[in-house]
């Protein structure tokens, strides 16, 4: 009887270890290589707003190459805007930690119904209209038209909302959603 | 000469075969532990149907035995009855060992006041209470104890908190296995199915050394049931249905026990809820799905035994959709808005953001008792925790988890319980453990916790000494060695900003990739922890307990390495490589009266924690998403003190009153401000009616009030809102107002089938549908807590 018991015990022990081994091997899926280096694929490092009146081009760039955290981002404005001028505006979002840089604008365009850009300026007589539409005929804002009025100095803020209410009254505050991009540029109209 | 011998041999053989019944059996009954003689033991001689009694020296004599088998059944008051058989073909002398520590084997029949150690300051939940929480979590169940609260993320992710301390500062021991399930994260609830346990003990005092050196807050012991060695097959099923969340839980367990001491148990539960409802709106994306199963098999006898256990917990938990925010302005909008951003109709769908967690736990434990020494147990355990967190993401990554970690832990440990000395019991043991974290690649995000290997080894000794019949003294000491080796990519700018390039040049590799550098941080720690306990029983059911504990905790991987954005908190959390270990001194006392008619427990405590690691906001960073507060780990000296009071009073034969109150104060001594995230004063009352004759009818009314926490550190700040062109105030510190909740519960028992019974329960939670928010809920900025819930439970025992 005693022998029988110990045999049972040993069998059970063996069974347990076999099953635990099986467990370990089952769960060691998809990660053979420990040196895999995951990049921030979703990261947006660079926002560029290119304004062109046909002859002159003004670019507004926000760049934060080390992503969220680390060093603060930098803002670059190539020059002043001309008064009473109509510019064609194009937004581009890049992830420059990837090589070659990943064009995030394409993702936003693809999921246009879940995204929308919002523009606002402290210079009152600047008007911006969105020229592109998502599948539901609501604006996205990758393509836009910016019209300047009188000379002045102020700032321009560009916000990209994920899952905003669409359609909305055109303001970021009312649209809700969560913010993917919020950058502010100092601008001068002369 | 040879002939003479030969002749003698023949003669002797004849004598033997002659079936003369002339043999004598001399026996001595002794105690298994200390080998002392047991007088007045009853010996039943089965073959002769005759009783005799052992003499003063524990000896007995059976004369005129025939050759053959003799079977004796020996019994003695307080001892386990033992039956032994011997082959008699000579005069025989045998020592027979009896065991008089019966309670260890049949804990089943013993009352619930059995403590982990006699000097321990603890509270416990028995099976009946656990069943009330069958469709809730461990944290919810423990929340009903005084001094225990919880840190929540929504209403389904509930982390237990003892005296304001949680996560790595609490040890959770499931079935004698220390739970490792990435417990460092605030939004990581313990992966335990409450239904698989029979008893849950919370040790607030210092008797925790057997399990670890780092129980700064305390210890939670989740214990299975021990089964009597009888031939039996039994089981039970509980079905629980709820109006809020339109879901519930079903749990079934089946137990087979054998007279020989073998036993097996199978348990399984499934839980599902859809969106829960606050009084005024649905909490969109707050449901969950949960599957658990556990299997135990073993053999239990006094001298030896083993136990094999395996459990799997699979959780899919939705996280309130409104809690996903982009930047600090979104947070301000959420704080200022009365309602969550997204309110949709009820749905069972679990959408993003969500968590998916799978936890395997397996162990095998074997023990053997040695005469005149004690009990030696050896245990091997293994755990695999896979955690996936899904966020709202763009494009191809929409269905890819943003966090995907696999933590593998295994440990080998032994414990020797020396009990042969009458007044002194000693527990001593060693443990080795290896842990590996694997940040699974393919998430398209840099891992929050990097790959690491962790090695631990420890040794401890604990003594319990009976000073007198009513007083006991315990003391223990433990040494732990711990080493962590990690592999992590740092932004070169972060690495240099923190001065790591000068502090830790040895961690750097030559590998860089864009703006990142590969590093190999390695840390080793030596820890000493200790405890001292005293207990004294007085007349009239009074007793007093005094505990001192020295606990040491090494920084966890999250505190050292975490690095990234938490969307639900709109904050960037940064670990710190320069953290030291945390050293805590705990003083806990308890003055108790254990009496059915009027009992109480008053338990004051004081904790001083050197180099307490906390996560606090330190500034604002400007990112492409706008402004973010940066939260960093830092170390301060902290003190936490308070008192927990519990009272029970029998009003009449059928009416009972229970009440409790917890008071706590936490201070950041370094900065002379209150400590962050400390539970507020709370108290509860309960009146219950019981009628044995009316199907054991129970009706109860309960009440709980949580006061507003007025002592909190002010980390509020201003941030510039570019849309409104003004500075806005970000009030992340202020606490919600006080609230009171009422509950109703009732239950009845019926006979069902031949020997089974049926229990019906009807309960109402948040009776008055009160809208409230709780300070210790991480999602308190976004939505109210749950509204009224009707609950129906059906339990069948068979």
One domain, residues B192 and B327 = no
Please report, for the domain that includes residue A99, its CATH number.
2.60.40
Chain A stretch 139-168, residues whose beta carbon is closer than 8 A to a beta carbon of chain B? 155, 157, 159, 161-163
Of B274, B344, B345, B284, nearest in space to B316 by CA: B274
Q: What letters, b where the CB count within 10 A reaches 16 and e where it falls short, cover B342-354?
A: bbeeeeeebebbb
- Contact by Cβ (8 Å): B5, B37: no
Tens-place pLDDT, residues B202-230: 998 878 899 999 999 999 999 888 887 88
One domain, residues B206 and B272 = no
- Contact by Cβ (8 Å): B86, B73: no
Higher-confidence residue: A102 or B1?
A102
CA distance B681 to B684: 11
Residue B298 belongs to some domain of the structure: yes
Tally of structural domains, chain B: 3
pLDDT at B45: 87
CA distance A60 to A79: 9
Listed range (A27-41, B160-174, B198-212, B656-670) with the worst mean pLDDT:
A27-41
pLDDT at B744: 97
Task: Bin A61: left if φ > 0, else alpha if -120 < ψ < 50, else beta.
Answer: beta
The nearest CA of chain B is from the CA of A89 a distance in Å of: 19
One domain, residues B405 and B429 = yes
Q: Does the beta carbon of A71 lie under 8 angstroms from any beta carbon of chain B?
A: yes
Give me the mean pLDDT over the B335-339 stretch. Answer: 89
Confidence of residue B96 (pLDDT cuts 50, 70, 90): confident
Mean pLDDT over each residue of chain B, to the nearest integer = 88
Confidence of residue B464 (pLDDT cuts 50, 70, 90): very high
Range of the domain at B177: 111-219
CA quadruple B84, B86, B91, B93: dihedral sign: negative
Looking at B198, B219, B240, the residue that finishes a domain is B219
Q: Does the beta carbon of B462 lie under 8 angstroms from any beta carbon of chain A?
A: no
> Quick check: A176 and B341 CB within 8 A?
yes
- Chain B: residue whose CA lies nearest to A9: B306
One domain, residues B608 and B721 = yes
Of B648, B651, B656, nearest in space to B700 by CA: B656
Give me the mean pLDDT over the B225-239 stretch. Answer: 88
pLDDT at A11: 57
Residue A162 belongs to some domain of the structure: yes
pLDDT at B441: 86
CA B758 → CA B268, B405, B538, B794, distances in Å?
A: 19, 43, 41, 7
Confidence check: pLDDT of B689 > 90: yes
Confidence check: pLDDT of B4 > 70: no
pLDDT at A20: 52
CA distance B441 to B201: 39
How many whole angstroms from its chain centre is CA B541? 29
Q: Does the beta carbon of B84 lie under 8 angstroms from any beta carbon of chain A?
A: no
pLDDT at B19: 55
Give me the mean pLDDT over the B163-184 stretch. Answer: 93
ipTM here: 0.77
Residue B521 belongs to some domain of the structure: no
Q: Which helix (H) or strand (E) holds A4?
A: helix A2-27
One domain, residues B193 and B281 = no
One domain, residues B439 and B481 = yes
Higher-confidence residue: B67 or B652?
B652
Tens-place pLDDT, residues B388-408: 999 888 777 888 998 899 999
pLDDT at A19: 55
One domain, residues B655 and B592 = yes
Chain B stretch 341-400, residues whose beta carbon is closer than 8 A to a beta carbon of chain A? 341, 360, 362, 364, 366, 382, 384, 386, 392-397
Of B773, B780, B767, B794, nearest in space to B331 by CA: B780
Please report, for the domain that includes residue B95, its CATH number.
2.60.40.10
Q: Does the beta carbon of B310 lie under 8 angstroms from any beta carbon of chain A?
A: yes
pLDDT at B442: 85
DSSP code for A106: H
Confidence check: pLDDT of B11 > 50: no
Q: Which helix (H) or strand (E) holds B335?
A: helix B328-336
Range of the domain at A109: 46-189
Range among A40-54, B176-190, B320-334, B452-466 rated most confident = B452-466
pLDDT at B569: 63
Q: Which residues of B touch A47 (CB under 8 A)?
A: 624
Residue B597 belongs to some domain of the structure: yes
By DSSP bridging, strand B571-574 and strand B626-650 are: parallel
Tally of structural domains, chain A: 1
pLDDT at A36: 61
Residue A136 belongs to some domain of the structure: yes
Residue A39 belongs to some domain of the structure: no
CA distance B159 to B188: 7
Listed range (B55-69, B170-184, B418-432) with the worst mean pLDDT:
B55-69
Confidence of residue B81 (pLDDT cuts 50, 70, 90): confident
One domain, residues B676 and B748 = yes
Higher-confidence residue: B206 or B477?
B477
> Quick check: A68 and B441 CB within 8 A?
no
CA distance B174 to B435: 17
> Quick check: A162 and B494 CB within 8 A?
no
Confidence check: pLDDT of B533 > 80: yes
Residue B523 belongs to some domain of the structure: no
Give one DSSP letter per residue of B550-595, joined into a string.
EEEEPPPHHHHH-EEEEGGGTEEEE--TT---EEEEEEEEEEEE--
Give one DSSP letter per residue of B223-286, joined into a string.
E-----SS-EEEEEEEEEEESTTS-EEEEEEEEEE-TTSEEEEEEEEEEEE---B-SSSB-SS-
Looking at B56, B79, B103, the residue that finishes a domain is B103
Secondary structure of B782-795 as H, E, C letters: CCCCCCCEEEEEEE
- Chain B: residue whose CA lies nearest to A25: B384
Confidence of residue B33 (pLDDT cuts 50, 70, 90): low
Kindly report the backbone phi and psi dihedral angles of residue B330, in degrees, each rounded to the nearest multiple of 5, phi listed first. Answer: -65, -40
Q: Which residues of B touch A173 (CB under 8 A)?
A: 333, 723-724
Q: Which one of A68, A179, A181 has the shortest CB-CB distance to B572?
A: A68
By DSSP bridging, strand A115-121 and strand B682-691 are: unpaired
List Cβ neighbours of B78 (8 Å cut-off, separation of 6 or more): B100, B102
Count Cβ atoms within 10 A of the Cβ of residue B421 and give its class: 0-12 exposed, 13-18 middle, 19 or more buried: middle
Task: Give me the tens of pLDDT residue by residue for chain A, a chain 190 residues long.
Answer: 445 455 555 555 555 555 554 444 444 444 434 446 676 777 888 999 999 998 899 999 999 887 776 677 889 999 999 999 999 999 999 988 777 888 999 989 988 998 999 999 999 889 999 999 999 999 999 999 999 999 999 999 999 998 888 888 888 888 888 888 999 999 999 8
Of B498, B539, B553, B543, nearest in space to B521 by CA: B498
Q: What letters, b where the CB count within 10 A reaches 16 and e where it falls short, cover B445-480?
A: bbbbbbbbbbebebebbbbbeeeeeebbbbbbbbeb
The nearest CA of chain A is from the CA of B325 a distance in Å of: 5
Please report, for the domain that includes residue B596, its CATH number.
2.40.170.20
Please report, for the domain that includes residue B209, its CATH number.
2.170.130.10
Mean pLDDT over each residue of chain A, to the nearest integer = 82
- Contact by Cβ (8 Å): B766, B790: no
Give me the mean pLDDT over the B98-106 stretch. Answer: 52
Looking at B219, B237, B252, the residue that finishes a domain is B219
Residue B522 belongs to some domain of the structure: no
Residue A22 belongs to some domain of the structure: no
pLDDT at A16: 55
pLDDT at B13: 43
Q: Which one of A5, A20, A64 has the shortest CB-CB distance to B624?
A: A64
Confidence check: pLDDT of B40 > 60: yes
Q: Which residues of B touch A183 (CB under 8 A)?
A: 624, 626
């Amino acid at each position: 009887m005693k022998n029988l018991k110990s045999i049972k015990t040993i069998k059970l022990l063996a069974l347990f270890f076999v099953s635990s081994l099986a467990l370990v091997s089952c769960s060691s899926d998809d990660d053979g290589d420990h040196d895999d280096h995951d990049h921030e694929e979703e990261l947006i490092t660079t926002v560029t707003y290119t304004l062109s009146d046909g002859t002159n081009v003004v670019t507004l760039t926000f760049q934060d190459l080390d992503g969220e955290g680390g060093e603060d981002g930098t803002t670059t404005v190539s020059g002043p805007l001309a008064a009473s001028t109509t510019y064609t505006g194009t937004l581009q979002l890049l992830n420059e930690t990837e090589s070659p840089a990943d064009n995030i604008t394409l993702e936003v365009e693809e999921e246009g119904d879940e995204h929308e850009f919002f523009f606002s300026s402290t210079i009152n007589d600047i008007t911006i209209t969105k020229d592109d539409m998502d599948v539901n005929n609501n604006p996205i804002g990758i393509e836009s038209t910016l019209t300047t009025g009188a000379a002045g100095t102020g700032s321009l803020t560009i916000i990209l909302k994920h899952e905003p209410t669409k359609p909305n009254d055109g303001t970021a505050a009312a649209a809700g959603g969560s913010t993917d991009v919020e950058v502010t540029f100092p601008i001068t109209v002369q | 000469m040879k002939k003479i011998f030969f002749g003698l041999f023949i003669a002797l053989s004849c004598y033997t075969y002659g079936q003369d019944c002339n043999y004598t059996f001399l026996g001595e009954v002794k105690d298994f532990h200390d080998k002392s003689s047991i007088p007045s033991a009853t010996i039943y001689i089965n073959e002769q149907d005759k009783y005799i009694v052992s003499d003063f020296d524990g000896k007995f004599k059976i004369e005129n035995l025939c050759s053959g088998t003799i079977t004796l059944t020996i019994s003695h008051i307080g001892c386990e009855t033992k039956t032994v058989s011997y082959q008699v073909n000579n005069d025989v002398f045998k020592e027979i060992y009896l065991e008089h520590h019966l309670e260890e084997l049949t804990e089943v029949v013993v009352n619930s006041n059995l403590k982990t150690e006699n000097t321990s300051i603890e509270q416990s939940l028995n099976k009946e209470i656990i069943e009330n929480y069958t469709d809730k979590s461990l944290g919810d169940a423990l929340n009903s104890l005084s001094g225990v609260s919880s840190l929540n993320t929504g209403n389904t992710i509930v982390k237990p908190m003892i005296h304001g301390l949680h996560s790595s500062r609490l040890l959770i021991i499931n079935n004698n296995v220390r739970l490792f399930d990435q417990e460092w994260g605030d939004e990581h609830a313990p992966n335990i199915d409450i239904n698989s346990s029979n008893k849950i003990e919370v040790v607030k005092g210092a008797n925790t050394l057997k399990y670890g050196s780092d129980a700064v807050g305390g210890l939670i012991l989740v214990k299975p049931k021990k089964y009597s060695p009888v031939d039996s097959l039994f089981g039970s099923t509980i079905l629980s249905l709820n109006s809020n969340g339109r879901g519930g839980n079903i749990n079934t367990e089946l137990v087979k026990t054998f007279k020989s001491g073998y036993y097996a148990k199978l348990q399984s539960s499934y839980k599902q809820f859809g969106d829960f409802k606050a009084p005024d709106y649905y909490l969109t994306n707050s449901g969950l799905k949960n599957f658990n199963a556990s299997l135990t098999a073993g053999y239990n006898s006094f001298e030896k035994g083993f136990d094999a256990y395996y459990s799997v917990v699979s959780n899919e938990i939705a996280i309130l959709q409104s809690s996903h925010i982009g930047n600090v302005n979104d947070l301000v909008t959420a704080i200022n808005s009365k309602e969550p951003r997204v309110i949709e109709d009820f749905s069972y769908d679990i959408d993003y953001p969500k968590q998916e967690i799978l936890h395997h736990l397996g162990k095998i434990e074997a023990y053997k008792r040695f005469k005149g020494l004690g009990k030696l147990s050896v245990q091997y355990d293994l755990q695999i925790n896979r955690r996936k967190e899904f966020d709202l993401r763009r494009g191809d990554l929409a269905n890819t988890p943003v966090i995907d970690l696999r933590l593998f832990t295994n440990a080998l440990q032994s414990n020797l319980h020396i009990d042969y000395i009458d007044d002194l019991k000693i527990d001593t043991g060693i443990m080795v453990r290896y842990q590996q974290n694997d940040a699974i690649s393919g998430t398209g995000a840099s891992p929050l916790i990097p790959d690491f290997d962790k090695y631990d080894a420890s040794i401890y000794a604990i003594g319990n000494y009976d000073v007198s019949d009513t007083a006991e003294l315990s003391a223990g000491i433990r040494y732990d060695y711990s080493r962590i080796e990690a592999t992590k990519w740092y932004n070169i700018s972060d690495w240099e900003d923190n001065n790591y390039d000068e502090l830790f040049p040895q961690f750097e590799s030559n590998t860089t990739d864009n703006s990142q550098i590969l590093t190999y941080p390695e840390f080793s720690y030596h820890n000493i922890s200790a405890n001292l306990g005293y207990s004294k029983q007085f007349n009239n059911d009074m007793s007093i307990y005094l505990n001192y504990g020295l606990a040491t905790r090494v920084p966890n991987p999250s505190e050292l390495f975490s690095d990234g954005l938490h969307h639900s908190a709109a904050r960037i959390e940064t670990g710190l490589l320069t953290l030291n270990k945390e050293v805590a001194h705990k003083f806990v006392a308890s003055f108790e009266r254990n009496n059915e008619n009027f009992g109480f427990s008053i338990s004051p405590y004081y904790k001083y924690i050197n180099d307490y690691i906390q996560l606090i906001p330190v500034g604002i960073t400007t990112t492409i998403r706008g402004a973010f507060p940066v939260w960093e780990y830092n170390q301060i000296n902290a003190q936490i003190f308070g008192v927990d009071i519990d009272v029970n009073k029998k009003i009449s034969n059928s009416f009972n009153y229970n009440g409790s109150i917890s008071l706590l104060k936490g201070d950041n001594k370094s900065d002379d401000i209150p400590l962050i995230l400390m539970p507020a004063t709370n108290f509860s009352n309960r009146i219950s009616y019981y009628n044995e004759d009316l199907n054991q009818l129970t009706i109860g009314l309960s009440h709980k009030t949580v006061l507003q926490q007025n002592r909190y550190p002010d980390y509020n700040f201003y941030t510039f809102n570019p849309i409104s062109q003004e500075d806005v105030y970000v009030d992340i510190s202020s606490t919600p107002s006080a609230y009171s909740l009422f509950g109703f519960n009732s239950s009845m028992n019926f006979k069902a089938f031949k020997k089974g019974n049926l229990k019906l329960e009807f309960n109402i939670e948040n009776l008055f549908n009160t809208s409230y928010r709780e300070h210790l809920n991480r999602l308190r900025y976004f939505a109210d807590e749950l509204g009224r819930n009707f609950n129906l439970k059906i339990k069948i025992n068979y």
